[in-house]
Amino acid sequence: MEQNKTPELRSGEVSNGSEVQNDATVQFIGTIRTPYTSRDLCPRQGKLDGPDCRLELFAQWHAALTGIEKFEHLDVLYWLHQSRRDLVLQSPRDNGQTIGTFALRSPVRPNPIGVSRVRLIRVEPGILVVKGLDCLDKTPLVDIKPSRCEFTSQAPEKAADTPL
Amino acid sequence: MEQNKTPELRSGEVSNGSEVQNDATVQFIGTIRTPYTSRDLCPRQGKLDGPDCRLELFAQWHAALTGIEKFEHLDVLYWLHQSRRDLVLQSPRDNGQTIGTFALRSPVRPNPIGVSRVRLIRVEPGILVVKGLDCLDKTPLVDIKPSRCEFTSQAPEKAADTPL
């Protein structure tokens, strides 16, 4: 189960004991199609009554959509592939006043992952048609989850759910 | 601005024209400290009145917290470093019945990124004390954003915000 378990050492090999990992790889699971073909055309926030957009999944993930049709709202994660990643302070109005990156929802951030709540309109084979996105056409797709508000955990309850 | 622009070719070099990238690297920005030192101790969902947890940022990102104190709720993204990433169909109750990965909020998913809405209790230098997390102690931190509901875009309005 635990993919990052420290592998066993071979005879003579020496580890420094560190299990600290400083990064990880995101594998894209598909592509987002929107009407926004340039950044100027992207609205600042998607609207749930906006235009239809398509989440097109790569073939190996099609079956992972099983059961998704029962949710009206989904959280969609995507990789803002045109964003720079180095800014700590930003000036959204370009007026000399700055705000910390983590106090903004700007696409410019150390890990340019966008999170949008969308409305599920229709399921086609390997494709979800949704409303509510504001990202560029061809943005890489990273994850899809049922909206927190509509989701009831399917796993059995455990002691940790009811602390004393 | 565009970090992924196709680099120019040197004399004699040939590109296949593909700009498709299939993955990207997440850089961890800090570490999450929770009271949950094993997976059995993690609740299935964090509660906004649960125990205090700490988001401890690496030094290079401390200044990016500037202005965050004015938000009561934040979205926190983190890397579920002990999760396997290959399952397409899952059986949460281990009863032979399966559900697609994207119809679950299970930590087991192609990109094991958790998203939690937390309540900001206190800001210390380089550290946020929050409530509402359910992840393991020492989970790598990926991003912090103001909650969508409380955030008003700081950027100037543009034509794309008011479609005809």
As a whole number of angstroms, the distance between CA B118 and CA B51 comes to 11
Give the percent of chain A with pLDDT over 70.
90
As a whole number of angstroms, the distance between CA A62 and CA A147 comes to 19
Closest residue to A84, CB basis, from B1, B65, B159: B1
Provide the token pair at B145: 């954003």
- Using a CB-CB cut-off of 8 Å, the residues of chain A touching B159 are 40
As a whole number of angstroms, the distance between CA B33 and CA B139 comes to 7
Report, as an integer, the average pLDDT of A116-128.
97
pLDDT at A66 over 90: yes
pLDDT in tens, A16-44: 666 667 999 999 999 999 999 998 899 88
Picking from A162, A40, A50, the residue whose alpha carbon sits closest to that of residue B44 is A162
pLDDT of residue B1: 37
A14 band by pLDDT with thresholds 50, 70 and 90: confident
pLDDT of residue B33: 98
A17: phi > 0 → left, psi -120 to 50 → alpha, else beta; which?
left
Rounded to the nearest angstrom, the minimum Cα separation between B143 and chain A is 7
pLDDT of residue A2: 41
Picking from A123, A112, A147, the residue whose alpha carbon sits closest to that of residue A54 is A123
Report, as an integer, the average pLDDT of A115-131.
97
User: Average per-residue pLDDT in chain A?
Assistant: 88
Query: B160, A77: Cβ pair inside 8 Å?
Result: no
- Using a CB-CB cut-off of 8 Å, the residues of chain A touching B157 are 44
ipTM score: 0.84
Closest residue to A22, CB basis, from B3, B28, B115: B28
pLDDT of residue A17: 67
Q: Report, as ranges of residue numbers, the positions in chain B whose pLDDT lies below 70.
A: 1-7, 15-20, 162-164
Quick check: A45 and A115 in contact, CB under 8 A?
no
Report, as an integer, the average pLDDT of A120-124.
98
pLDDT of residue A21: 77
pLDDT in tens, B7-34: 677 777 776 666 667 999 999 999 999 9
Query: A26, B23: Cβ pair inside 8 Å?
Result: yes
A26 vs A89, A93, A142, B1, B25, CA distance in Å? 25, 31, 7, 22, 6
Query: A146, B89: Cβ pair inside 8 Å?
Result: no
pLDDT of residue B17: 66
- Using a CB-CB cut-off of 8 Å, the residues of chain A touching B64 are 88-89, 100-102, 110
Which one of B101, B118, B148 makes the best mutation probe of the A interface by having the most chain A beta carbons within 10 Å? Answer: B101
Quick check: A78 and A107 in contact, CB under 8 A?
no
Query: B158, A115: Cβ pair inside 8 Å?
Result: no
pLDDT of residue B3: 44
Question: Residue A156 carries which side chain, given as an amino acid letter?
Answer: P
Better-predicted residue by pLDDT, A101 or B94: A101
pLDDT at A102 over 80: yes
pLDDT in tens, B124-136: 999 999 999 999 9
A114 by Cβ neighbours in 10 Å (0-12 / 13-18 / 19+) ranks as: buried
As a whole number of angstroms, the distance between CA A36 and CA A122 comes to 20
pLDDT of residue B8: 74
